[in-house]
Structure 1
Amino acid sequence: MSRARIALFAVILLFAGSLAFMAWATDEQYMLISFFLVCASIVPFFLRFERRTVQARELVLVAVLSAIAAVGRVPFAALPSVQPTTFVIIVSALVFGSETGFMVGAVAALVSNMFLGQGPWTPWQMFSWGMIGWTAGLLQTWGLLGSRWMLLVFGFVWGFLFGWIMNIWALAGMGQNLTWAAVAASYAASFYFDLAHALSNVFFLSVLGPGWIRILQRYKRKYGLLDNEADGILK
């Protein structure tokens, strides 16, 4: 867990440093800079997962969970911010750990955008959904998501945090013209979508969460897959 904490803090510092650099830079390539730095923030997680000894069937499981999270987003495209993707990422992290949660979130964003459209927002979505999985796994390991109410609060809060992080890539394109008024307007405009995301997370976690967690735990125990961090949740 010490290495996990170091990785998390390193990525937070790198991400914060990228924002500071974007504010300091004097050229006009703010979008390119933000794209590069958020990709750099993602790399440590992929490298950490790559260094693990993972069986082929465990990779298949990660791929299947990522596909479910990605495909679940497509039918809800007509309802902005309402989708079960975040729910699938959270329960995957609770059962299989933070690293698996990050991989499921990052890959789900990349795969789902093959249907919904790739763009400069894709790495930001990979980072945001990946961090949802990573933090869910860490907090579960620390015993902070042991109750259903705490889990619902977690899903609700991340509904807003996801939108707030995604606002950054759009604001980055404003460059030196960025003002506090523009920031306030951007976050105010996203409030409805962030609230819809937060409430949909609460709905899916409360209605489908316990059943999904039991199924995934049973599958984990039966086949001994990714047996690392997260047993005994929400009993």
Structure 2
Amino acid sequence: MPGQQLKKVILFALLATFVALSVWWIDHYLWLSFGMIIAALLIFLVRFEKRAIEPREMVLLAVLAAIAAVSRIPFASIPSVQPTTFVIMMAGFVFGAESGLIVGVVAALSSNMILGQGPWTPWQMLAWGLVGLTAGLLKNCSIMNKTWGKISFAIVWGFLFGWIMNLWGLLAFSGGEGVLDITALLTYFIGSALFDVMHAVSNVIFLLMFGGIWMKILTRFQRKYGLLEKEST
């Protein structure tokens, strides 16, 4: 529907605006983070505007976001290694793009309540939100029905997440000038390469170890209780 597409474009524009403001309005990152939460929820609600959202569906997404957030804590001492990306991927693969976006955005904000808030928070919310969003958008592609397809997705996002955070670093600490400085750009990307590899490898390990059982459990919940069926189709 043209009207629905326009609403989604507007809401995505809001998310982009929040991220842009996080560079110039760096001291107010927490307000921007909550603004992104509201925008993500609105995106979720647009999809379900023709039917009532059941409380148990919202509870399910809240539980998944909580699991994704809490799972960062035991691995906090190991840079870039955490199951958070894996949990967000599973949410997107099973329940669809909007649900994946919600889980990713909420998980980033809530986990940083424990691990530390900062001007990087909106960018982590963006990066993990995009993980869930793209997982949902690609879930029905034939390659995603194969293990190697999911592994490729996990590897790509291990690096893309780091690159998005590199972009924040350049913008935040260079006043925007670092974007045009090839030396600074290469320095950021080379400096983060090891961490990006660790993120990608940990994504693959969690996927191979727990991906099958998570898909079965979440799919069983969805079919048994009729949760988020409209979104995931």
User: What does 1:35-184 correspond to in 2, within 5 Å?
Assistant: 44-51=39-46, 52=48, 53-173=52-172, 174-175=174-175, 177-178=177-178, 179-184=181-186
Secondary structure of 2:25 counterpart: helix
Distance across 2 between alignment mates of 1:163 and 1:71: 20
Question: Shift in Å at residue 190 of structure 1?
Answer: 0.5
For structure 2, which runs of at least 5 residues remain unmatched after alignment?
Answer: none
Residue 191 of structure 2: aligned partner: 189
Residue deviations 1:162-205 (CA, integer Å, cap 9, x gap): 01001122111211542221111011100111110001111111
The 3 A distance-change label for structure 1 pair 7 and 38 is farther
Q: What is the Cα deviation at residue 11 of structure 1?
A: 3.4
Measure, in 2, the Cα distance between the counterparts of 1:143 and 1:229: 19
C-alpha contact (below 8 Å) 2:170/2:176 kept by paired residues: no
Residues 22-67 of structure 1, C-alpha deviation per residue, up to 9 Å, x if partnerless?
Answer: 9xxxxxx944279699987776432121342311111110110000
Q: How far does the alpha carbon of each residue in 1:73-104 deviate from its partner, in whole angstroms, 9 at most, with x for none?
A: 11000101000000000011111111110100
Given that residues 80 and 196 in structure 2 are in contact (C-alpha distance below 8 angstroms), is that contact kept between their aligned partners in structure 1?
yes
- Which residue type is aligned with residue 109 of structure 1? A
Contact 1:94–1:140 (CA under 8 A) maintained in structure 2: yes
Could you tell me whether the CA contact under 8 Å between 1:42 and 1:127 is conserved in 2?
Answer: no
**TM-score in terms of structure 2 length:** 0.83
Q: Aligned pair 1:32/2:34, yes or no?
A: no
Partners of 1:203 and 1:76 lie apart in 2 by 14
Distance verdict in 2 for CA 1:111–1:13, change over 3 Å? closer
Alignment partners' CA distance in 2, 1:48 and 1:137? 14
Change (3 A) 1:137 1:42: same
- Are the structure 2 counterparts of residues 117 and 37 from structure 1 closer, same or farther at C-alpha, using a change threshold of 3 Å? closer
Letter in 1 for 2:53: V
CA distance in 1, matches of 2:65, 2:95: 13
For residue 204 of structure 1, what is the aligned residue in structure 2? 206
**Whole-Å separation in 2 of the counterparts to 1:64 and 1:10:** 24
Gaps of 5+ in 1: 23-28
Measured on the aligned residues, the alpha-carbon RMSD in Å equals 3.1
Give the TM-score normalised by structure 1.
Answer: 0.83
Q: 1:30 to 1:64 in 2, by over 3 A?
A: closer
- Cα gap change, 1:4 to 1:163, in 2 (>3 Å): farther
Contact 2:159 2:200 survives alignment (8 Å)? yes
Q: How many corresponding residue pairs?
A: 223
Partners of 1:4 and 1:13 lie apart in 2 by 14
